[in-house]
Amino acid sequence: MDLINSFRDKDKILALSQIIKQRSKKPLNIMEICGGHTHSIMKFGLPQLVGENINFIHGPGCPVCIMPRSRIDEAIAIASIDGVIFCTLADMLRVPGSKGSLAMLRADGADIRALYSPLDTITIAKENPDKKVVFFAIGFETTTPMSAVVVKQAVELNLQNLFIHMNHVTVPAPVRAIMSDKDVKIDAFLGPSHVSVITGSKIYEELANEFKTPIAVSGFEPLDLMDSILNLVNQHENGTHKVYNEYARVVSKDGNLKAKELIDRYFQPCDFEWRGLGVIKDSGLRLRDEFSYLDAKKYFNVEVGESKESKACICGEILRGKAKPYDCKVFGKVCNPQNPIGSCMVSGEGACAAYYKYSKRG
Amino acid sequence: MKKILLAHGGGGQEMNELINGLIFRIFDNEILAQGNDSAILNLSGKIAFSTDSFVVSPTKFPGGDIGKIAVCGTINDLAMVGAKPRYISCALIIEEGLGIDELKEILNSMKSTADEAGASIVCGDTKVVSKGSCDKIFINTSGIGEIIKESRVENLKSGAKILLSGDVGRHGAVILANRNELNLDLQSDCKPLNNVVEALLNASIAPLAMRDATRGGLSAVLNEWAKACGRDIKISEESIAVSDEVMGICEILGFEPYELANEGTFVLAIDPKDEIKALEILREFDSSANTIGEILDSNKGNVIIQNSYGASRFMEPPKGELLPRIC
Amino acid sequence: MCLSIPSKVISIDENNFAIVETLGVKRGVSLDLIAEPISVGDYVLIHVGFAMEKIDTKYALESLEIYKQIADDMNSGKISADEGDMGLAALKN
**CB-CB under 8 Å, A6 with C64:** yes
CB < 8 Å to A16, chain C:
67, 70, 88
Q: Is residue B310 part of a domain?
A: yes
CA distance A282 to A167: 13
- CB distance from A62 to chain B under 8 Å? yes
User: How confident is the model at residue B327, as a pLDDT?
Assistant: 36
Nearest CB neighbour to C35, from listed A140, A149, A257? A257
SS3 C17: strand
User: How confident is the model at residue A274, as a pLDDT?
Assistant: 87
Residue B108 pLDDT greater than 90, yes or no: yes
Domain A24-313: which CATH class? alpha beta
Nearest CB neighbour to A94, from listed B309, B316, B320? B320
How close does chain A come to B166, measured CA to CA in Å? 21
Residues B51 and B165 both lie in one domain: no
**Residue B69 C-alpha from the chain's centroid:** 7
SS3 C47: strand
Nearest CB neighbour to B311, from listed A45, A139, A360? A45
**CB-CB under 8 Å, A35 with B327:** yes
Nearest CB neighbour to B324, from listed A17, A116, A143? A116
**CB-CB under 8 Å, A93 with B314:** no
Burial tier of A108 (Cβ tally within 10 Å: 0-12, 13-18, 19+) = exposed
Q: What CATH number does residue B240 fall under?
A: 3.90.650.10
Residues B137 and B172 both lie in one domain: no
pLDDT band of residue A36 (cuts 50, 70, 90) is confident
Residues B283 and B178 both lie in one domain: yes
CA distance C26 to C46: 12
Within chain A, all domains assigned CATH 3.40.50.11740 are found at: 24-313
B188-200 residue pLDDT tens: 999 999 999 999 9
- Please give the sequence-ordered ranges of beta strands (E in DSSP) within C1-93, or none if there are none: 5-12, 17-22, 25-30, 43-47, 50-54
On whether the CB atoms of residues B84 and B153 are closer than 8 A, the answer is no
Q: Is residue B157 part of a domain?
A: yes
Chains with 3 or more CB pairs under 8 A to chain B: A, C
**CB-CB under 8 Å, B316 with A89:** no
Q: Is residue B323 part of a domain?
A: no
Helix axes A222-238, A10-23, angle to 10 degrees: 20
- CB distance from C26 to chain B under 8 Å? yes
B41-59 residue pLDDT tens: 989 899 999 999 999 888 9
Q: What CATH number does residue B35 fall under?
A: 3.30.1330.10
- Residue to mutate among B252, B255, B308, B309, with most C CBs inside 10 A, is B252
Q: Is residue B23 part of a domain?
A: yes
Residues B281 and B174 both lie in one domain: yes
- Please give the sequence-ordered ranges of beta strands (E in DSSP) within A248-314, or none if there are none: 267-274, 278-287
Residue C84 pLDDT greater than 80, yes or no: no
CB < 8 Å to B327, chain C:
1-3
Q: Is residue B320 part of a domain?
A: no
Query: What is the sign, positive or negative, of the torsion defined by CA atoms of A52, A325, A350, B253?
Result: positive
Residue B319 pLDDT greater than 80, yes or no: no
Q: Tell which residue, A50, A18, A26, A283, has the closest CA to residue A144.
A: A283
Residue B117 pLDDT greater than 50, yes or no: yes
Overall pTM surpassing 0.85 (yes/no): yes
Residues B33 and B105 both lie in one domain: yes
Give the domain-ending residue among B147, B172, B205.
Answer: B147
Q: Is residue B325 part of a domain?
A: no
Q: Is residue B302 part of a domain?
A: yes
User: How confident is the model at residue B234, as a pLDDT?
Assistant: 97
Q: Show the domain range for B121.
A: 3-147
Residues B282 and B195 both lie in one domain: yes
More confident of the two residues B138 and A94: B138
Residues B140 and B24 both lie in one domain: yes
Nearest CB neighbour to A258, from listed C34, C61, C89? C34
- CB distance from A301 to chain B under 8 Å? no
> What is the arithmetic mean of pLDDT over A343-352?
74
Residues B242 and B100 both lie in one domain: no
Spell out the domains of chain C, with CATH numbers in brackets: 7-81 (2.30.30.140)
CA distance A65 to A43: 19
**CB-CB under 8 Å, B254 with C24:** no
SS3 C52: strand
- CB distance from C81 to chain A under 8 Å? yes
CB < 8 Å to A45, chain B:
307, 309, 311-313
Q: How many domains does chain B have?
A: 2
User: How confident is the model at residue C1, as a pLDDT?
Assistant: 39
Residues B30 and B71 both lie in one domain: yes
Helix axes B100-117, B194-202, angle to 10 degrees: 0
A350: closest chain B residue by CA = B327
Q: Is residue B322 part of a domain?
A: no
More confident of the two residues B52 and A66: B52
Q: Which strands make up the sheet holding A84-89, listed edge to edge?
A: A111-115, A84-89, A132-139, A162-168
Residues B118 and B177 both lie in one domain: no
Residues B224 and B272 both lie in one domain: yes
